[in-house]
Amino acid sequence: MKTLKDIKVGDSATVTKLNGQGAVRRRIMDMGITKGVKIDVCKVAPLGDPLEIKVRGYQLSLRKADAEMIEVE
């Protein structure tokens, strides 16, 4: 199982599954991160948290804890 937080800067991945429950899962889906969408990792903050990703044509900052809930391939 590979998660979004394991992807290196400059690489891209496709979402295969969203883990998590309730409001957290809904918030991730509301940001446009759904099964089958392509995500590019643009930057990582100096201390490693948050990640900056590009999804559906816009930039998004995501905490590592939320990135762990997103399985990718």
- Domain holding 7, by residue range, is 2-72
Q: Judging by beta carbons within 10 Å of its beta carbon (0-12, 13-18, 19+), is residue 45 exposed, middle or buried?
A: exposed
The distance from CA 70 to its chain's CA centroid, rounded to whole angstroms, is 6
pLDDT for 5 = 87
What pLDDT, on a 0 to 100 scale, did the predictor assign at position 55? Answer: 93
Give pTM, 2 decimals: 0.84
Instruction: Give residue 48's pLDDT.
Output: 82
**What is the domain count for the chain?**
1
Given this model, what pLDDT does residue 20 score? 84
The parts of the chain modelled with pLDDT lower than 70 are none
CATH number of the domain bearing residue 50: 2.30.30.90
